Amino acid sequence: MSKRPSFKRWFRLSLFALLLLLLVALAVWRGDILRAALDPQVPFQTYTPPAAPDYAKSSAWALRNASTPGSGDASVFFLHSTTFDGGKEWNGPIGDAKADAYLEQIVLPNFAAPFAIAGNVSAPLYRQGSLYSRLTLREDAREARAFAYGDVEDAFEHWLALHPDGPIVLAGVEQGAELLARLLRDRVARDAALKERLVAAYMIDAMVPKDAIALPICSNREDSGCLLAWSMVDEGTTGVVSRRQRRALFWDDKGRLVESGDRPIICVNPVSGADDMLKTDPRRHLGAANAAGLEWGVRPAFIDRAVAAQCRDGFLRNTPLKSESFREQRAWTDRRKAKPYNLFYADIMADVQARLSAWHNKKDTAFRP
């Protein structure tokens, strides 16, 4: 006759089963748990935002007229992507150490630096909507994202006062691109003098409706004064497109973020500089780079002739890079921010340089007797 299991053995088995159940639950609901931990748990209407930045001070700028040897004569206004996770705040305070470190080590080297070939680069700090505000479609989150625009507009006016003439390039990534889209629609497109000065506006990692901004979309690399936007999706991935479409928001006439619905989206291929649906051969790809951690002015090593790209259904479908330096081994929060590398670093450099030349040629033609 077999012995009945002892109490200790039953206890161990029960404890093991409970731990196994907890691990399974954590695996299934990990994202929801981490997302909930970032929720400020206070309505935005009763929330007290952090102190406003003073754009007359250098402390309100991540970059201020930063230049590199041999750069062009344009002035570049760059809006960074989301760097603040959330928690107690709907909007990130100026000077948050963790957010600033991510900005300086990841975002600026990968996404602001390619534009330095066109001229001096300025990048304001602003009370950005937290990462949490981009993980939910709640009205509180939309208001937090809209709140950030006030800082962007103030920074832009201050920057314009310091750069009253000459060619300008405007660029933004992810949240920065979303805010730039509103700045272009509400400020630039309505100002004839600014439109004449505009070399190009780049909205990277953003879904921007074609009919949202009264400025032309770049149709080829010889165009200037036009818009470029793209939202990248690795070829072969599933579910990403539908999720982005469900969460896509854009500004209405009252400055509110509303669903974009099925409005056609701008997609300009950064390899060709065109808004067509032709697939670019990898041999045309000028270079991807992981520039994380590089100091300003240090050019990264490029991996070229490696990425095929095609605008299809409003998204830029690209072949992924399998190199170790382009694998995302990051925390859950960081994986929901802009990528820590730039697949089209050298292509953007070539594009902005070509458009600056086109802008000058257009001005020379206009003044030629």
What's the rounded mean pLDDT across residues 149-153?
Answer: 98
What's the rounded mean pLDDT across residues 186-215?
Answer: 97
Percentage of the chain lying above the pLDDT 90 cut = 74
| Cβ atoms within 10 Å of 151's Cβ, excluding its own | 22
Q: Lowest-confidence range among 133-142, 151-160, 171-180? A: 133-142
What's the rounded mean pLDDT across residues 343-349?
Answer: 98
Q: Locate tokens 């259904």: which residue?
A: 313
Is pLDDT of 30 > 50? no
Q: 289 versus 4: which is more confidently predicted? A: 289
Q: 34 versus 62: which is more confidently predicted? A: 62
Q: Which band of pLDDT confidence, cut at 50, 70 and 90, is reported for residue 301?
A: very high
* Side chain identity, residue 88: K
Which of 107, 129, 117, 98 minimizes the C-alpha distance to 62? 107
For the sheet with 232-234, list strands across it.
232-234, 315-318, 309-312
Structure confidence by residue, pLDDT tens digits, 239-255: 788 888 888 899 998 99
Is pLDDT of 22 > 50? yes
Q: Which residues contact 291 (CB under 8 A, 6 or more apart)?
A: 109, 110, 113, 300, 341, 342, 345
Is pLDDT of 145 > 70? yes
Q: Nearest 5°: phi and psi at 96?
A: -65, 125
Sign of the CA dihedral running 187, 188, 194, 199: positive
Is pLDDT of 146 > 60? yes
Residue 120, strand partner residues = 75
Query: What per-residue confidence (pLDDT) applies to 87?
Result: 84
What's the rounded mean pLDDT across residues 24-29?
Answer: 45
On whether the CB atoms of residues 205 and 174 are closer than 8 A, the answer is yes
Relative to beta strand 168-173, strand 74-79 is parallel
What's the rounded mean pLDDT across residues 30-47?
Answer: 74
If phi > 0 it is left, if psi is from -120 to 50 it is alpha, else beta; for residue 305 that is: left
Q: Which band of pLDDT confidence, cut at 50, 70 and 90, is reported for residue 32?
A: low
Helix (H) or strand (E) holding 196: helix 192-197
What is the longest distance spanned by two Cα atoms in the chain? Answer: 111
What's the rounded mean pLDDT across residues 306-310?
Answer: 97
What's the rounded mean pLDDT across residues 8-34?
Answer: 58
Q: 241 versus 76: which is more confidently predicted? A: 76
What's the rounded mean pLDDT across residues 140-168?
Answer: 97
